[in-house]
Every structure is written in structure tokens, then in C-alpha cells.
Structure 1
């Protein structure tokens, strides 16, 4: 059996150092497997993908743009918005840890600070108080005192509320077009013709004329 340096595949040996290294490797693999959840709940990805989905549903274009395009655009916008935060994490935690200046625990603590500051900035006090009251925690004096187990779900539901508010504002103009088209068809006695079929070209025309994608992305960027 080929052994990697410093890593033992035997979890039941009597060497504490080897056991500790193996446990750390398992923890690292677990964290990597949960990375998509961290990306969704601890960044701007949730708000962006929901707003983009509202745009597609408002247009009633079914699968246009495709899911791959929406997710790809949401990912790149997330990296763009989170760029300063990721840069701080790299400078304050990752680089010093790789250079041996910080221990693993110190690096994790320093890496969490920029992320906590970002989430706390966009978390409603009401949502944060909900989880803190449930766990019986006292009101923190600093952002550093807020545990991630409390801040992450509070940030997530705050992002959901903001995303649905933006989605409602996006949906209203398209709803007005549907109502106008339905009223015209009813007045003409064409009640058997689906209004969505007639309103779709007008929705796309309106969206293109106002440069909809530019306005949507601009609104998302300015919301942070």
C-alpha cells in the first residue's frame, strides 16, 4: 500500500500525530464537499440567482435563458461582488497560513472575519435577533462575537426577502402587459386565444428597449 507523507490510512493506529492528521484530512474533505452550500448561503449568490429567475419567469420565456447561463452569470457576478472580501481573506488568512505565520485555528478565525462583516452588513437586525433569541444568546457587542451558526441562516433569510422584493418590482411591468393584452383580447371577443402567446413579443420588445439586462445587473450591483 502506498502511503502519502504525513497521512496514514489506518485510523486505528496508536500514534496520536497520525490520527490527528487523518482526522484533519477527513474534516478538510467534508468542508470541500459542503463548499457549494457555503457559496450559496454565505455570498451574494442567493439574491442574484433568485432575481435572475424572476426575470425569466416574468418574461415567460420558459427555458430562455437556459439554467446554465443564469447560474454562470450569477457565479461571475458573485465573484465580482465578493472580490474585495475574498481578497481580504487571502491577505489576512490564506497567505499567512501558507507561509507558516498562522496556525490552522488562527487562520480560520481571521478568514471568517471579512465574511462575517459582509454578511452582517446585509443582515436585518430582526432576522439576526430571531436566531439569537432562539439559542438564548445575549446581544453581541461586536461582529466578531456573532457565531457563524447564527449569522449564516439570518443572512440567508435576509437575502431571500431582499431578492423577492426585487423580484416583485421586476414582475409588475410584465404583469401590466399581460393584463392589457388580456383586456384587449376580451374586448375583441378572442377569449380562446391565450394572452401569454400575444404578450410575449411585447414583453421581449419592452425588455430590449429599456436595456433590461443592464438595469437588472446594475440594480444587483448597487444593492451591495
Structure 2
């Protein structure tokens, strides 16, 4: 089996690095541009919820918070709002991240936004940690012994650190002898690398395997 490469994760988009919530920009003393959004209270409520949200929100959650009919209505209004941003040439865009929607700045603005000193920086991952995370991401659910067999070194401490950073979690126990713990990625992992879901992993269709049965 081909060894998962940490380079694949480095190639994934990272909204934490290139797209920031406008709340952070306001804290630095600026203000977002005002695109000409449709004069519809529903659109305005949706935009306000997206603007204030700290995390990606699912369609159902957006419908509840913005007092909208259902997920279908939210999806249609998200498209209208995004079209308004595109037409106005706004710095903002709505991205699908980690199974939800989030209002972010456009990736091309990263060189300027990175100059701000008050942004929320993600913890830096060392090359060994990134490689361990890549193995777990592509082969999940995976036991520690399998990660160590692929990397050729002990990985217990790295797995613990990745759990502490909320990038990995324990998802169950294997049916193998001794019932070792199974590791998988978190929603925070998807956010960190700008992925809608695991199918967005680079070359996921070639590198991921069928998940083993677990309890």
C-alpha cells in the first residue's frame, strides 16, 4: 500500500491561514466592505449569523439561528448572498468547511492579512507530527501499531499531542487481539485544512482504504 504523505496535507487549502472571520478584522480597527446584498430580511439574518459565527454552521443550524424555513431555503439564500459578494467584488466569501458554512476572507488576501499581529494562529505542527496525522487521516480508523509500522518509529506521544490539539480523537476499539484503540480525525482537522469532508483529502480515492470493522 502506498504510504500516505504529509505533503498531501500541506497541499490542502487552509482557511485558518488564508481566510479569517471579519470579527478579527474589526478587532484590528477596520470594517468590512458592504456588498449590495438583496433587500430581503432573510438574507440579512443569514448574513448576520454567518458574520458572528465562530465555527462553520450546518444548514440546519443556520435555519434555526436565522429563523428560516429549512435547509433548502438556507442553501438558496447562501447562493444569493455569495452571488452578491461576487458581483460586488467583496473580500468575503462563504465557504463549505467541516460539514458546514463559514464566512471567510478570500484566499488571495492572505499576504496582507498575515501582517496583522492579532490573528489567531494555529499551533505549528512539526514534520513528524504532520506525517503521523497524514497516516491517521488517510487510514482511519487506525490503531497505533499500524501508524508506527508505516512510520517506522514510536508514535504514542505524537498521537497524544494530536489529540490534545483536537486534530485526532479516539473513535473506538479494534477487534484485534487486545482491542487496541482506534484513532480518527476531528471536525477541527477538517477546519484546519479547509476540507468539507474526508473525501476532499488530496488523492483520497487512491490512498484511503476500506475502514476495518470496529465496535
TM over 0.5, yes or no? no
Greater strand fraction, Structure 1 or Structure 2:
2
TM-score (norm 2): 0.26
Please say which structure displays the higher CA radius of gyration. Answer: 1
Q: Which has the higher contact order (CA 8 A, sep 6+)?
A: 2
User: TM-score scaled by structure 1?
Assistant: 0.26
